[in-house]
A and B are shown apart, each in its own frame.
Chain A
Amino acid sequence: MLIAFALAYATCMALSLAMTRHFQQVWPRQKLSPRLATFLRNGGWILLVLTLVYCAKLEGIAVGLVLILGLFSAAAFLLALLLHYAPRVALVLVFAAPLAGLL
């Protein structure tokens, strides 16, 4: 379940970092290159599909769909607050969450 959340969160992170506004919340001094933006956006969509597959495997397609919507609500809301109040924590969580899920 934690892995499912980690996947949803990573999806949100990739999709948000592909936008200059959020990229500069995490790295204020750096510029988002168009290539990196494309990479992050495509990566985000791939992660989205992975999350969907994982949730469907975990709970079956019916409940999996309910689960993924709930996870994305939680992940996106949390990320939006973190990006403003604690951008470093937002970044660390991308790596910490899957680790915690695997342990």
Chain B
Amino acid sequence: MKNGFRQSMSWVHTWGGLSVGWILFFVFLTGTLGYFDTEIDRWMKPELPKDTSTMAQSLAVAEARLQQKAEGAERWFINPPTNRDNPNLRIFWQMSGKDGERGVRGNELVDSTTGDALSSRATGGGQTLYQMHYALHYLPTDVAYWIVGICSMFMLLAIVTGVVIHKKIFKDFFTFRPQKGQRSWLDMHNLLSVTALPFHFMITYSGLIFLAFTYMPLIVASSYGTGDDAERKFFDELFAEGNKIERANSPANLASLGAMVAIAEARWGENQVRYLDIDNPGDANARVSIGRQLDSPLRASPELIFDGVSGELLNDKAAATSAPRTVRDTFLGLHEGLFANTVLRWLYFLSSLLGTAMIATGMILWTVKRRPAQLKKANGPDFGHRVVESLNLGTIVGLPIAIAAYFWANRLLPLDIAARSNWEVHVMFLVWFAALIYPLTRNIMRGWVDLLWVAAAAYGFLPIVNALTTDRHLANSLAQGDWLFAGVDLTLLITGTLFAAAALKLQRRLQQTPAAAANSNKNNGDNNNMLAQKISAQSPEAT
């Protein structure tokens, strides 16, 4: 530890950041893609049709299907295709259980024009990718939560210390000076951090709140005791679903759902119904709760509650409940951004990419700072330095390649192999592993060029693979105005182009100064410049 407040903060920032940087990069990048989880899901299930039915059609189909699959159930749940989270009609049911046991549950996607269940290829989709950002993979959930939690705490520490050690945070707010080696890396790192600082702080802090019950179990234990039973009791009380009404056990016909939805739409506007939650369908004590679309970070919707037999409106429930619950939900809601419309969603995505690039530039800065001294050593760079450089390359470019491989696997793995969705993920991690090993076998600067080209090809050819394996390719989706499929394909193309531009730029630099490529002791400044150039082109492309 050095003397002086700012120096010690700088030490914490540097070493705290480096030690968890690679995991944080993984968490940030997969989390960034999570803002488009449903879109990636849809792209990965090209068999599912685009739902164009009216509300009346989907309600009729859903009710008929539930009647057929789950008559006499304890609960039905209908998600009409009215928002981005539910591009297709989804139904869910839960049968009544015996002696307090939970009954059998089921759910399916339904075609609202034919009324048949929809099926698609076995794929992890965007959900698996998004879940990795807090549950990692191949690890027990609890262990993963602790790893992600500790890394997030380091992140929070890095954000606070970063603000402390940034001497001219306002004066340098808009400053970026490329081609100045280490200076440029620091400028870019600062720019990425400061412009989206509120986002970085919010996302890290709220991420920790998500799993606070895991990190601080003793607070619950002080009132509820320890052990599984106490824990279950706590969660049951915390997330209790209000007063459920008992079954009357005398059959009665369900009133018209369409009429109830009409009342809700008259209050909220068209397509504002997010779900219908039906307790005791077909019983005299049926209740129907209709929930509104999410339009704020509260994570809960206002609900209208109807008598399921008479169809009479009983109650109008506000979204917010208790104050502490509201504070918690607001943080979680801000983190998830489920309320965000298209523009805000892209801004979330962009801010999150800035965060990912902030981590990447921070880690590259660590090596750039030390490279001149390392190259002067008689036996070449230390092993530790070499490892950090390789891990940086294998993660910053390697992980994006691995994610592209996951997309390739979705299209190219045979549809009938066992555990297909697991294999998609295996492919992703095998490719990442290869990308982590590769830099150890090659001159580091050459390694950057090689992997950047691989990434360019991996993303650039994906729309072509899509065109060869499905009929929902770019030409078709643009012609049909299907912006979801077109959007994913175009984003992949742009990502590939940016990787190619970065590769080309770095390659030209290397050709101009062959000595640097040979990793000689001279031209260190140029080495740094090349990387500075690269990141300036690379920042938006970490997808």
Smallest Cβ-Cβ distance to B351: which chain A residue: A73
Query: Quick check: is A77 within 8 A (CB to CB) of the other chain?
Result: yes
Query: Quick check: is B536 within 8 A (CB to CB) of the other chain?
Result: yes
Query: Is A66 within 8 A of B171, CB to CB?
Result: no
Task: List A contacts of B198 (CB < 8 A).
Answer: 69, 73
Query: Quick check: is B64 within 8 A (CB to CB) of the other chain?
Result: no
Query: Is B297 within 8 A of A62, CB to CB?
Result: yes
How far is A87 from B511 in the complex, measured between Cα atoms in Å? 29
Query: Is A77 within 8 A of B347, CB to CB?
Result: no
Query: Is B195 within 8 A of A76, CB to CB?
Result: yes
Smallest Cβ-Cβ distance to A67: which chain B residue: B344
Query: Is B171 within 8 A of A70, CB to CB?
Result: no
Task: List A contacts of B175 (CB < 8 A).
Answer: 21, 80
Q: A70-B348, A73-B195 are in contact. Are A81 and B339 (CB under 8 A)?
A: no
Q: A73-B199, A76-B174, A76-B195 are in contact. Are A63 and B350 (CB under 8 A)?
A: no
Task: Report the minimal beta-carbon distance from A23 to chain B, rounded to whole angstroms.
Answer: 11
Query: Quick check: is B216 within 8 A (CB to CB) of the other chain?
Result: no
Task: List A contacts of B195 (CB < 8 A).
Answer: 72-73, 76-77, 80
Smallest Cβ-Cβ distance to B172: which chain A residue: A21
Task: List B contacts of A12 (CB < 8 A).
Answer: 174
Task: List B contacts of A15 (CB < 8 A).
Answer: 173
Interface string of B160-197 (1 = CB under 8 A from A): 00000000000101111110000000000001100110
Query: Is A77 within 8 A of B297, CB to CB?
Result: no
Interface bracket on B: 20 to 34
Interface bracket on A: 20 to 34
How far is A66 from B195 in the complex, measured between Cα atoms in Å? 14
Task: List B contacts of A46 (CB < 8 A).
Answer: none
How far is A67 from B177 in the complex, measured between Cα atoms in Å? 29
Task: Report the minimal beta-carbon distance from A43 to chain B, rounded to whole angstroms.
Answer: 16
Query: Is B296 within 8 A of A77, CB to CB?
Result: no
| Chain A binding surface, main DSSP class | helix
Task: Pick the contact of A63: B174, B344, B354 (CB < 8 A).
Answer: B344
Query: Quick check: is B265 within 8 A (CB to CB) of the other chain?
Result: no
Query: Quick check: is B295 within 8 A (CB to CB) of the other chain?
Result: yes
Query: Is A77 within 8 A of B354, CB to CB?
Result: yes
Query: Quick check: is B155 within 8 A (CB to CB) of the other chain?
Result: no
How far is A60 from B297 in the complex, measured between Cα atoms in Å? 12
Q: A16-B174, A62-B297, A63-B339 are in contact. Are A77 and B191 (CB under 8 A)?
A: yes
Query: Quick check: is A1 within 8 A (CB to CB) of the other chain?
Result: yes
Task: List B contacts of A84 (CB < 8 A).
Answer: 176-178
Task: List B contacts of A83 (CB < 8 A).
Answer: 174, 176
Query: Quick check: is A19 within 8 A (CB to CB) of the other chain?
Result: yes
Task: List A contacts of B351 (CB < 8 A).
Answer: 70, 73-74
Interface residues of A in 42-79 (CB under 8 A from B): 60, 62-63, 66-67, 69-74, 76-77, 79
Query: Quick check: is B452 within 8 A (CB to CB) of the other chain?
Result: no
Query: Quick check: is B148 within 8 A (CB to CB) of the other chain?
Result: no
Query: Is A73 within 8 A of B344, CB to CB?
Result: no
How far is A70 from B176 in the complex, measured between Cα atoms in Å? 20
* Residue among B175, B178, B348 with most chain A CB within 10 A: B175
Interface string of A78-102 (1 = CB under 8 A from B): 0111011000000000000000000
Task: Report the minimal beta-carbon distance from A80 to chain B, rounded to whole angstroms.
Answer: 5
Smallest Cβ-Cβ distance to B342: which chain A residue: A1
How far is A21 from B339 in the complex, measured between Cα atoms in Å? 40
How far is A77 from B296 in the complex, measured between Cα atoms in Å? 26
Q: A62-B297, A69-B199, A70-B348 are in contact. Are A76 and B343 (CB under 8 A)?
A: no
Query: Which residues in B have some Cβ–Cβ distance to A below 8 Å?
Result: 171, 173-178, 191-192, 195-196, 198-199, 295-297, 334, 339-340, 343-344, 347-348, 350-351, 354, 536
Kindly list 20 other residue pairs between chains A and B, CB separation below 8 angstroms, not including A15-B173, A77-B191: A16-B173, A60-B295, A60-B296, A63-B295, A63-B297, A63-B339, A66-B344, A67-B347, A69-B198, A70-B351, A73-B199, A76-B173, A76-B174, A77-B195, A80-B191, A80-B195, A81-B536, A83-B176, A84-B176, A84-B178
List the 10 closest A-B pairs by CB distance, nearest first.
A70-B347, A73-B196, A76-B195, A16-B174, A80-B174, A77-B195, A69-B198, A80-B176, A1-B343, A73-B351
